[in-house]
A and B are shown apart, each in its own frame.
Chain A
Amino acid sequence: MIEVLEIILRLALWLLVAPLLPGLINKVKAWVAGRRGPPVLQLYYDLARLWKKSVVMSTLASPAFIAGPAVAWVALLGAALLLPLGPLGGAVSFKGDVLLVVYLLAVARFCTTWAAMETGSAFEGMGAAREVSYAVLSEAALITAILSLSVQSGSVTLNDMLAPSSGAGAVLLAGGLFAVLLAENCRVPFDDPNTHLELTMIHEVMVLDHSGPPLAVVLHGAAMKLLLFSVLLSEAVLPLAQWSTWQASTALAGAVTAVTIGVGLVESLLARFAFSRVPLLLTTAFLLCLFALLLAWKGGAA
């Protein structure tokens, strides 16, 4: 009974907190620009409105156009449930669960790009091509970060990997994972989530044709993915295991907020990079993670 209750609470936490993050980012951006900006809860209003709207589907699209966002959303939620929440741990924890998380993110990517290609639109084709190509580099960085964490902690279970701090390499890992977070969530400097109709977009252009409840699911899924990466980054860096439950929970919440504000600041202060420079930035992220791995290796050997 307790387990069921715990799962429900955990679900509620992920589902309800996630849309807060984009609102927070927008607020930060507005504050830096000296505007008032939309309310922090704007995404909740949008989701509620979209959920009630009717759907327009491309004449070319198959039923997978609606199935894709649904599967992607469930996959992201599954990955979120596997991720430990500080002292609470993950909903399910087993050896190698970290790989399931990485591959669930891949499932989400597969379904989003598949649904984008359904429409036959050249714009969505461009977005999908960029999404899967940049994912190659960010996956290399992510798996290296995971290697570094597991070498540091001597385990391949998320609960054990994320409990201690990542030691001397924490700064490097934080830098690498932050870049991966920005790339995977299509934020500046990789992508600009504010515009929809340009040739240069990645995520937003892939969801151009979605409307109504499927679009709500896409937007909510994107918010969950952002939260997921922020939690992963915070837990990788903070030594949560050393603190009491309340301290750890507060630290985690604070760190996630800090990461979100950081994303907002980056978005306010940086311009989007030219596409030719994106691989360079992602390779830098990979190298940061690689150096973190080497530090973890040396640290353990000493």
Chain B
Amino acid sequence: MTPGPLVLLAALGLVAGILFGPRMPRFWLALTLVATLSGLAAALLVLGGGPEWEWRSAFAVGGEPLHLRLDGLSGLFIVLLSVVGSAGAIYAREYWSDQDHPHSAPRGRLWWSAMILSMIFVLLSSNGLHFLIGWELFAVSSYFLITLDRAQREVRMAGWLYLAASHAGTLCLFGFFVTLAARTGSWELGPMRSQANLAPLIWLALAGFAVKAGLFPVHIWLPSAHANAPSHVSALMSGVAIKMGIYGLVRFTGWLPVPAATGGVIIALGAVSALLGIAFALAQNDLKRLLAYCSVENVGIIAIGIGGALLGAAQGDAPWGRLLLAGSLLHVWNHGLFKALLFFGAGSVLHATGTREMSRLGGLWRSMPWTAAMFALGSAAISGLPPLNGFVSEWLVYLGLLDAALGRSTAAWAAIPAVIIVAVAGALALATFIKAGAVIFLGAPRTKAATQAHESGPLMRGAMLAIGAGCVAIGLAPIIVWPAIARAVGTWDPDWLALEPPVPLTTLGAAQVCLAVLFIGGVVWLWRRAHANGLRRGLTWDCGYSTPTARMQYTGGSFAGLAGGWFAWILQPQRTLRRPRGLFPIRAALVERVPETVLEHVIEPAAAVVMRLSRAARQLQHGRLHFYIVYLAGGLTVLAIIVWLGGIS
């Protein structure tokens, strides 16, 4: 079986989904599942060792024949897209149902199919012009998905910001592809590492793809877009769409020659994103914003791996470069899975309580045990804890960085700080997710909404369980996914294909299985012992205080206060405090808000300057004809003087 018919089936299914989706929800779900599963099968055929698939059309689109190519790298991303795309479609059927959202649910189905189709097109297309077209379609369809709930002003603002940022990135990519086509004389893409004159172009690509990937400081669109989109859309955006920026980086650093500094720059960007992304995440009180900032951190870790791979390639194909690229690509999968799981969990909470404010929740494990368990699993996985999948990819990245440090080459100067930053980011991630999980699911309900929460239905739970199973499976048997990762690494650089992992991945997998068994055994043992001895319930011991209330619990803000304080220089938290006064204080309040520092303190002032200049320029255009005649006369006079002086050479 070749991937060709499967790709065709996937494309047909998605096109049919666009056509029939709005009217026929069940048929649409079936179509989407068939399409994503056949896309998955096609990608797995290639990743499993089959030959690459290439196809050129006889007809032309926009003056160029279609050129599609399914290789290891695009296959890797298609697998993730198919898994999250299908799980999200199942989840959305219940989460964003036609009963609750009669107007936006049909639109949601249409754009969901369109977004998956355009992403697959971007991943497959091997022609610069078509890549750009696909990229634009992908950006536009995700804009419509983000703004599904467009009656709300906040959602429209988020969508607008996304569209503006996305197009700023696309502008760079436009420059990149056009210059590339001009220098090579063709829109065709493919390996061209030997043409050294193309090297500087990578900076344009880096700028364009970094915006989509959400690297600090061009992540400005990401928090509000991910927070305001419906949760299944956030899952697809955070799990897969931002990875398209990563795909672009990996793809074009593999195909094009790069200047020597690229690796170092990408590592630096990644390290800054990892550290500051998680610092911002820790300080958030909006659950989905927290998850969005955490994506910035994870993209940072992925970027550290890519930058390290470039350094390794520059230093005589050092073996640690492959390790870093492999770890980074595995982290693309892992982050896609657990971030989708966490956004699904956040969606269930939002669905049940109607709020994303963590300080209004609490004690939800009682009414939503499945969601709580799955969110805890996702939290452990994203904190990189063994025996789950996050640990495997972070372990590979660490090993690559440590080997680079041991190599004592110049790369060590990047690797040593990177190791420390990844470790610090890991510890902060743990704090962030303890905060999120505990404030939402543990303790006592803080508001009425939290008391009246209900568990989500079978479809939403099923989607979460399926993705959660993926997290556990990769954690326990990393050796199974290695060939796929190796294949993708081999696509990046054919000399780097290593079907046997260069590190003891099998031993790690065995250790993880042992740990999982022991964890379960330990829990069962202690549980039985506690029950055998007799277990009764009592009030929480609050140092003798016998009437605690839910409002006396530690909040997310106070939990993050200590570590967040160390980052106050960048977080710039704004607090309004109204102290209790007098003997019988009537009211007191403390409101703390963490602004979008980069957006509010850098981008918006800069945009304000541009707006002021444009407004000043607009003064010239006021509709008074006699002034226009003066402009004309002035212009002609200036031209005449130039001609008289002999022109500008």
Contact = CB atoms under 8 A, between A and B. Distances in A.
B504 A94 contact: yes
Contacts of B511: 92, 94, 100
A120 B536 contact: no
Contacts of B562: 129-130, 133
Interface string A117-157: 11111111110111011011001101110010011001110
Interface in B209-264: none
Interface stretch (B61-69, B293-301, B378-386): B378-386
A156 B403 contact: yes
Nearest to A142: B423
Contact of B416 (A51, A60, A62, A293): A293
A150 B401 CA distance: 12
Interface in B386-409: 386, 391, 395, 398-399, 402-403, 405-406, 408
Interface string A182-203: 0000000000000001000000
Nearest to B278: A136
B84 interface: no
B527 interface: yes
B559 A96 contact: no
Contacts of B362: 120
Interface string A161-198: 00000000000000000000000000000000000010
Interface stretch (A22-30, A206-214, A224-232): A206-214
Nearest to A197: B543
Contacts, number: 244
Nearest to B390: A103
A95 B434 contact: no
A38 interface: no
B538 A132 contact: no
Contacts of A92: 507, 511
A286 B380 CA distance: 26
Given A122-B542, A147-B405, A279-B566, A139 B426 contact: yes
B522 interface: yes
B553 A122 contact: yes
Interface string B514-529: 1100110111011101
Interface in B546-598: 548, 550, 552-554, 558-563, 566
- By secondary structure, the B interface counts as helix
Contact of A78 (B419, B443, B515, B539): B515
Contacts of A113: 434, 438
Contact of A117 (B434, B519, B548): B434
B553 A125 contact: yes
Interface stretch (A12-20, A66-74, A239-247, A260-268): A66-74
B380 A110 contact: yes
Interface residues of A, number: 79
Give the most central of A61, A78, A119, A132: most B CB within 10 Å. A132
Given A58-B537, A120-B540, A123-B542, A51 B507 contact: no
Contact of B540 (A94, A102, A104, A209): A209
A103 B385 contact: yes
A279 B554 CA distance: 22
Give the most central of B362, B363, B365, B434: most A CB within 10 Å. B434
A253 interface: no
Give the most central of B402, B538, B558: most A CB within 10 Å. B402
Interface in B422-475: 423-424, 426-428, 430-431, 434, 437-439, 442-444
A117 B442 contact: yes
A156 B398 CA distance: 10
B534 interface: yes
A52 interface: yes
A55 B535 contact: yes
B609 interface: no
A57 B548 contact: no
A53 interface: yes
A74 B438 contact: no
Contacts of A70: 519, 522-523, 525-527
B399 A99 contact: yes
A125 B507 contact: no
Contacts of A99: 395, 398-399
Given A54-B533, A54-B535, A301-B408, A96 B399 contact: yes
B360 to A, nearest CB: 15
Given A55-B530, A70-B523, A106-B384, A119 B536 contact: no
Contacts of B18: none
Given A54-B535, A197-B543, A106 B395 contact: no
B384 A59 contact: no
A53 B532 CA distance: 10
A107 interface: yes
Given A110-B385, A114-B437, A143-B419, A119 B523 contact: no
A285 B504 CA distance: 32
A209 B541 CA distance: 6
A204 B537 CA distance: 21
B508 A94 contact: yes
B376 interface: yes
A125 B554 contact: yes
Nearest to A138: B427
A107 B385 contact: yes
Contact of A96 (B504, B515, B526): B504
B483 to A, nearest CB: 20
Contact of A59 (B503, B519, B530, B538): B538
B607 interface: no
A56 interface: yes
A21 B561 CA distance: 34
B435 to A, nearest CB: 8
Contacts of A60: 363, 442-444, 540
B427 A139 contact: yes
Give the most central of A126, A136, A139: most B CB within 10 Å. A136
Give the most central of B372, B427, B443: most A CB within 10 Å. B427
B516 to A, nearest CB: 10
Given A117-B438, A150-B406, A213 B423 contact: no
Contacts of A71: 519, 522-523
A59 B427 contact: no
Contacts of A66: 523, 526-527, 530
Contacts of A122: 542, 552-554
A119 B542 CA distance: 9
B420 interface: yes
B424 to A, nearest CB: 5
A217 interface: yes
B524 to A, nearest CB: 8
A109 B443 CA distance: 19
A64 B533 contact: no
Contacts of A34: none
Contact of B438 (A56, A102, A128): A128
B366 interface: yes
Contacts of B423: 102, 139-140, 142-143
Contacts of A62: 365-366, 369, 372, 442
B6 to A, nearest CB: 37
Contact of B431 (A52, A132, A140): A132
Q: Which 7 residue pairs spanning A and B have beta carbons closest together?
A: A125-B554, A120-B443, A117-B438, A54-B534, A132-B431, A143-B423, A133-B563
Given A71-B519, A132-B430, A144-B420, 17 more contacts: A59-B540, A60-B363, A62-B365, A62-B369, A66-B523, A78-B518, A103-B385, A107-B385, A114-B434, A114-B437, A117-B442, A119-B443, A120-B540, A136-B431, A143-B423, A147-B405, A155-B406
9 contacts: A59-B540, A69-B526, A100-B391, A119-B443, A120-B362, A120-B553, A125-B554, A132-B563, A147-B405
